[in-house]
Amino acid sequence: MAKLGYTGTEPLAGIPGSIGGGVAMNAGAYGGEIKDIIESAEVLIKDDTGLYKKKVITKEDMKLGYRSSSVLKENMVVTSATFVMKKGDAETSLAMIADFNGRRRDKQPIELPSAGSTFKRPTGYFAGKLIEDSGLRGYSVGNAGVSVKHCGFVVNNGGATASEVKQVIDNVREIVFTKFGVILETEVRFIGEF
């Protein structure tokens, strides 16, 4: 869209994933989120008989919040979405994207596999700072560990298992709670058994 001279998607440029996942999570970064540009979505939603029906929902129906939505809560499946963007200037938008991506490269461990930012930002705090101040920079279980570059990320240092990732997350939450009394909620979702 930036290349075509439309503005609004720049902060989302470095977020990996699909449109459906982005809508469900209300993906966002650097002061911008899906909520700012979405108008409606076509979804499949279960009716009272348990069958999935096609429906168009509005932005208001989606109840988009900080990494949350009615799409997630009500197990809808997004099949398409409509966005509204303003006409802008391609060169300006591409420069903004380069800036955001540069900041990501400098601050985030994108050279190692991860599921992105592991924890939500607790009100009044920064998850990474709480973890760092708990002495957990680089803390690891097996091959999974708190990123040395950015403590808000749990990374796979090579061959980590899902169970190791989960143990790091659980232990970090417990230690931060013991030290600071702050409950770290995860931004990542757990699917399966650990």
3-state secondary structure 44-103: EEECCCCCEEEEEEEHHHHCCECCECHHHHCCCEEEEEEECCEECCHHHHHHHHHHHHHH
134 binds ligand FAD (CB under 6 A): no
Cβ contacts of residue 69 below 8 Å, gap of 6+?
Answer: 23, 24, 25, 26, 62, 63
- In the complex with ligand FAD, the residue whose CB is nearer, 18 or 178, is 18
55 binds ligand FAD (CB under 6 A): no
* Binder of ligand FAD out of 8, 21, 88, 142 (CB under 6 A): 21
28 binds ligand FAD (CB under 6 A): yes
State which of positions 135-194 bind ligand FAD (CB under 6 A): 189
User: Could you list the residues that contact ligand FAD (CB under 6 A)?
Assistant: 15-18, 20-22, 24-25, 27-29, 71-72, 76-78, 110, 114-117, 189
Catalytic amino acids?
67, 117, 187
